[in-house]
Amino acid sequence: MPTSVSVSLGPADFPTLITARRHEIRADEPPERGGTDMGPEPFEFLLASLGVCTAITLRMYARRKGWPLDDVQVEVEFDDQRTQGRRAIRMALSVTGELSAEQRARLLQIANACPVHKVLTAGVTVETELAS
C-alpha cells in the first residue's frame, strides 16, 4: 500500500494541517515570508524526513546486528547555492555506544542507504492532477 498524507490549507496565510495516519502536524512559513510560524516550513519537513529515516535505519540495523548503539544524532542542512549552480543536503551524524571503527564505518554506509536518502538521490517522478 502506498504511503500517503493529507494536507489542508484554509483561508489564512499559511498555517497548514498535515494528517498522516492518525497524527496531525502543523506546518507554516516563518514571519519573514508572510507566515505565522505555527510549525516547520516545507524544506524543514524534507530535511526532517531524511534525518528521521537515517536515525531509524541506523537503529534497526544496529539492533538486528546486536550492536551497542546507544544514541543517534543527525543534523541536516539544505544548502541552496543556485548562484553557484548547485544544491546540496549535508548530514552530520553522531553515534554513541561501544562501537568499533569497523562498525562505525558500516553505520555510515547504512545511513546513506536509508529509503528517503535513496529516493532523494535517485530522483522521483511527481504526478500532479487537479481534482474536479
pLDDT in tens, 43-71: 999 999 999 999 999 999 999 999 999 99
Q: Report yes or no: 57 and 65 within 8 Å, Cβ to Cβ.
A: no
Looking at residue 98, its amino acid is: E
| Residue-wise pLDDT tens digits, 73-115 | 999 999 877 666 678 899 999 999 999 999 999 999 999 999 9
The domain made up of 42-122 has a fold known as: GMP Synthetase; Chain A, domain 3 (3.30.300)
Q: pTM, whole model, 2 decimals?
A: 0.89
Q: In the chain, where are the structural domains located?
A: 1-40, 42-122
In the chain, what is the straight-line distance between the N-terminal and C-terminal CA atoms, in Å?
A: 25
